[in-house]
Amino acid sequence: MDISLKRRIAVVLPGDSLFNGTVFSNIAYGLRIRGMARRVIRERVHDVIERFGLSDKTHKNARALSSGEAQRVAVARALVTRPEFLFLDEPTASLDPPNTGIIETVLKEARAGGGMTVVMITHNMFQARRLADRVAFVYGGRVIEEAPAEQLFSAPEEDLTRRFITGRMVW
């Protein structure tokens, strides 16, 4: 894959590993390897640190954070690069409501700013309904149905989708 394409993409996986360093250095990593000026790095990192409510953790070792704080750092590290495409795999799985809320709020703000496509995998239908413009229901490795979020959740066309969103077991 072309490096210029890779630099337009950011990915956050479950339990994304943080480096043994400060919150600031973890978030700044992607900007540093892109060769950005120190002033730009400092401004961007401080901006996302504030947006993610991590100001009091800036100089703390990232490995000493709670799981919710660590996940906020992982998502901040992805967003600070201002990717064109952001891929998230269960970005709030096992997080408490306050951490989930912070991540969701920042993702909504980032999307509203335009220029970024977010593809998120989640089993949380409430979250999908809150955040998504479009939803795809995938089962057994196949896309069963794909539609605008409100349409899929209120009037799904496929029986399997209907059963899933109403809480019935589909397997």
What is the per-residue burial (b if ≥16 Cβ within 10 Å, else e) of 107-135? beebbeeeebebebebeebebbeebbeeb
Structure tokens that stand for 72 in this block: 């906020």
Contacts of residue 93, defined as CB under 8 A and 6 or more positions apart, other chains included, come to 14, 122, 123, 124
Which three-class secondary structure state does DSSP give residue 124?
A: coil
Q: How many CA atoms lie within 13 A of 80 on its CB side?
A: 32
pLDDT number for residue 60: 98
Q: Select from 145, 147, 149 the least CA-distant residue to 127.
A: 149
The pLDDT of residue 1 is 66
Tokens of 115: 């220029």
Compute the distance between CA of residue 93 and CA of residue 13 in angstroms, rounded to an integer. 11
pLDDT at position 90: 95
Count Cβ atoms within 10 A of the Cβ of residue 77 and give its class: 0-12 exposed, 13-18 middle, 19 or more buried. buried
Q: What is the pLDDT of residue 115?
A: 83
Q: Right CATH number for 3-123 from 3.40.50.300, 3.40.1160.10, 1.10.340.30, 2.60.40.10?
A: 3.40.50.300
pLDDT tens, position by position, for the chain (171 residues)? 677 778 899 999 987 789 999 999 999 999 999 999 999 999 999 999 999 999 999 999 999 999 999 999 999 999 999 999 999 999 999 999 999 999 999 999 998 888 899 999 999 999 999 999 999 999 999 999 999 999 999 999 999 999 999 989 877
Judging by DSSP bridges, how do beta strands 142-148 and 134-139 pair with one another?
A: antiparallel
**Residue 27 and residue 73 in contact, taking contact as beta carbons nearer than 8 Å:** yes
pLDDT at position 170 is: 78
CATH 3.40.50.300 intervals, the chain: 3-123
